[in-house]
Chains A and B, each alone.
Chain A
Amino acid sequence: MRTFWLLVRAGFRRHSTYRLALLAGMTTNSVFGFIRASVLLAALASAGSSIGGYDAPTAVAFVWWGQALLGTVNLWGFAEVKDRVRTGDIAVDFLRPVNPQLTYLASDLGRAGINFIGRGVPAFLLGALLFDMAWPPSAASWAAGAVSVVLAVTVAFSGNFVINLLAFWLVEIRGISLLWMITGGLLCGLYLPVPWFPDWLRTVATWSPFPSMLQNPIDILAGRVVGTDIVSAVAVQVFWAVVLLAVGQVVLRAGRRRLEVQGG
């Protein structure tokens, strides 16, 4: 546990070196926030009432929490593990006394932490300053929201980790990771809230792990999901985190048996 915590802190420090990058990311997230908020507000104005449980303040909260969490949750995936599998460096990870999956998870949680503080919070505050935004309705929402964000980071990481590990069997996983990214971007509730989808697409989304990466924490923080519904939203996230982490372990073991590194 102590090792895990140290690795989280190392990940945090590693990514906090690039301050200008954080500022740049925050600016870009904010520009997109302005555009998305304008579009959603125009849609609500056109509908004349709330759509899918979102009124204007909750829609604004949906947008700005989404922009704040965009850099925190690694939706676009990472290539580090894939590259290490291809070069054979993954063998070094296997030699270490800590499970590779946990090592990478810890470092990703650290990365998420600094991105949330350095990039997410300022963008969110800017949105809160300029728009009429719904705040989390209760202390329970704040607390559950925090837990939900950590779970979202974990689910997104575990999914991407499995995709990265496919490099044990495939020479080039670019196509698969692109497919994962596009489906995920659409179904996680990044562009539009999942409740706005037509029925069939919403069903597809609810049965996929993607809403657990963004939609669920946003719903809790924006106050669209309250009371006992919070428990089920978090439970779904826990389910996907456990499933994807377990799949990651299985794939990692299978890959380890297959791995063959040339040279010495």
Chain B
Amino acid sequence: MVEVSEVSEVSRWASRCALRERLRPYRVLLASRARAQMQYRASFVTDILGTVGVGLAEFAEVWVIFHNVTVLGGLDFTAALLVFALSNIAFALADMFVGHLDQLPRYIRAGQVDAFYVRPLPLLAQLMTSDLSLRRVGRLSVALVALVVALSTAHIAWSAATVGLVALTVLSGTAIFSALFTAAGGLQFFLVDGAELTNSFTYGGSYAAQQSQQVFPGPLRIFWTFVVPTAFVAYIPAVAILDLPDSLAPYWLAWCTPLAALLAWVVAGLCWRLGTRHYQGAGG
């Protein structure tokens, strides 16, 4: 018995080493991208300030609306701030890791995708690690500040479950937006010139995610829950965290965000497969 367990221990250790070895190229790639961005200090700082500006402008929109009304779509300012924060954190993280899949049409047109294919790593993994947009930490930090302010000013019955829900929401939200970016990437192989079409559910999805879902008429609400599941990114969990009444967003639904993320990734995987199967090479 002892020997068997030792063998399994050894094989587990070996497989962990193999995994580390497999991930090594990505680690090296990402580290080099990060280093490259920080070479031009002034330009890096400007870029970060720029994304801070983008985050502040997005926040200004929420703030200006609440300058005119006290409640919007069943949410008061603090609740709206929480929805804004959760959706922006998730979007900024997804944008940082995979947002550059947006650049795919440019790679396709320039024939660079073929160059990726020649290398001994999967295409999607290479594209994802082809950049790490560190400048997005600007927008992320604005959202984090908003999260801290919202969570500390709202009256929340804190428990381990609440903490877990916040963490789970950030993870699933990031996964949902990453899935949307990947699905968009897969569709780019068909669209090329019409690349802007996918903005309707990536950037449009992000815009929809930071609203109270109660503002939407029925069909739109169904769309942003079941077709493009951005309601799960912020609104549904926020309702549960703040214990708000919304018969269409019961509390147990807040724990279904990983399920929504999983389904989104299934669709994204299909889109990516279809796209890469469709791709015939740049020729020449």
| Chain A positions near chain B (C-beta within 8 angstroms) | 18, 20-21, 23-25, 27-28, 30-32, 34-35, 38-39, 41-43, 46-47, 51-52, 172, 174-175, 178-179, 182, 185-186, 191-192, 196-198, 201
**CB-nearest residue of chain B to A20:** B194
Q: A35-B204, A39-B215, A175-B47 are in contact. Are A192 and B65 (CB under 8 A)?
A: yes
Judging by beta carbons under 8 Å apart, are A178 and B204 in contact?
no
Residues of A contacting B3 in the complex (Cβ-Cβ under 8 angstroms):
none
Q: A35-B211, A38-B211, A191-B61 are in contact. Are A18 and B47 (CB under 8 A)?
A: no
Judging by beta carbons under 8 Å apart, are A34 and B220 in contact?
yes
The CA of A25 and the CA of B194, in the complex, are separated in Å by 8
Of B65, B196, B203, B217, which is in contact with the most chain A CB atoms at under 10 Å from its CB? B196
Judging by beta carbons under 8 Å apart, are B194 and A23 in contact?
yes
The CA of A31 and the CA of B215, in the complex, are separated in Å by 15
Residues of A contacting B192 in the complex (Cβ-Cβ under 8 angstroms):
20
**CB-nearest residue of chain B to A197:** B64
**CB-nearest residue of chain B to A71:** B196
Residues of B contacting A35 in the complex (Cβ-Cβ under 8 angstroms):
204, 207-208, 211, 216, 220
Q: How far is the CB of A242 from chain B (nearest CB, A)?
A: 28
Residues of B contacting A185 in the complex (Cβ-Cβ under 8 angstroms):
57
15 further A-B contacts with Cβ under 8 Å, apart from A25-B196, A35-B208, are: A18-B193, A21-B193, A21-B194, A23-B197, A28-B200, A32-B207, A35-B211, A39-B211, A42-B72, A43-B68, A47-B68, A182-B50, A192-B61, A197-B64, A197-B67
Judging by beta carbons under 8 Å apart, are A182 and B57 in contact?
yes
Partner of B65, one of A28, A39, A182: A39
Contact sample, A vs B, 26 pairs, CB 8 Å cutoff? A20-B193, A21-B196, A23-B194, A31-B200, A32-B200, A35-B207, A35-B211, A35-B216, A38-B211, A38-B217, A42-B73, A42-B214, A43-B65, A43-B69, A46-B70, A46-B72, A51-B69, A174-B43, A174-B46, A175-B47, A175-B50, A182-B50, A186-B60, A192-B61, A192-B64, A196-B65
Residues of B contacting A196 in the complex (Cβ-Cβ under 8 angstroms):
64-65, 67-68
Q: A20-B194, A24-B191, A24-B195 are in contact. Are A182 and B214 (CB under 8 A)?
A: no
**CB-nearest residue of chain B to A36:** B207
Main secondary structure of the interface of A (DSSP, over half): helix
Residues of A contacting B217 in the complex (Cβ-Cβ under 8 angstroms):
38
Partner of A27, one of B56, B68, B197, B216: B197
Q: A41-B215, A42-B214, A178-B50 are in contact. Are A198 and B64 (CB under 8 A)?
A: yes
The CA of A75 and the CA of B73, in the complex, are separated in Å by 30
The CA of A35 and the CA of B70, in the complex, are separated in Å by 20
Residues of A contacting B216 in the complex (Cβ-Cβ under 8 angstroms):
35, 38
Q: How far is the CB of A127 from chain B (nearest CB, A)?
A: 14
The CA of A198 and the CA of B64, in the complex, are separated in Å by 7
Partner of B191, one of A20, A178, A201: A20
Judging by beta carbons under 8 Å apart, are A175 and B208 in contact?
no
Judging by beta carbons under 8 Å apart, are B215 and A174 in contact?
no
The CA of A25 and the CA of B196, in the complex, are separated in Å by 6
Any chain A CB within 8 A of the CB of B199?
A: yes
Judging by beta carbons under 8 Å apart, are B215 and A24 in contact?
no
The CA of A205 and the CA of B11, in the complex, are separated in Å by 67
**CB-nearest residue of chain A to B192:** A20
Nearest 10 interchain pairs by C-beta: A175-B46, A42-B215, A24-B197, A24-B194, A20-B194, A178-B50, A31-B200, A24-B196, A28-B200, A31-B204
Judging by beta carbons under 8 Å apart, are A52 and B220 in contact?
no
The CA of A198 and the CA of B68, in the complex, are separated in Å by 9
Partner of B68, one of A21, A52, A175: A52
Q: How far is the CB of A203 from chain B (nearest CB, A)?
A: 14
Residues of B contacting A191 in the complex (Cβ-Cβ under 8 angstroms):
57, 61
The CA of A117 and the CA of B191, in the complex, are separated in Å by 21
Judging by beta carbons under 8 Å apart, are B69 and A47 in contact?
yes
Any chain A CB within 8 A of the CB of B53?
A: yes
Of B47, B61, B68, B201, which is in contact with the most chain A CB atoms at under 10 Å from its CB? B68
Q: How far is the CB of A98 from chain B (nearest CB, A)?
A: 30
The CA of A143 and the CA of B195, in the complex, are separated in Å by 35
The CA of A178 and the CA of B135, in the complex, are separated in Å by 13
Judging by beta carbons under 8 Å apart, are B197 and A38 in contact?
no
Residues of A contacting B200 in the complex (Cβ-Cβ under 8 angstroms):
27-28, 30-32
**CB-nearest residue of chain B to A198:** B67
Judging by beta carbons under 8 Å apart, are B194 and A46 in contact?
no
Q: How far is the CB of A99 from chain B (nearest CB, A)?
A: 31
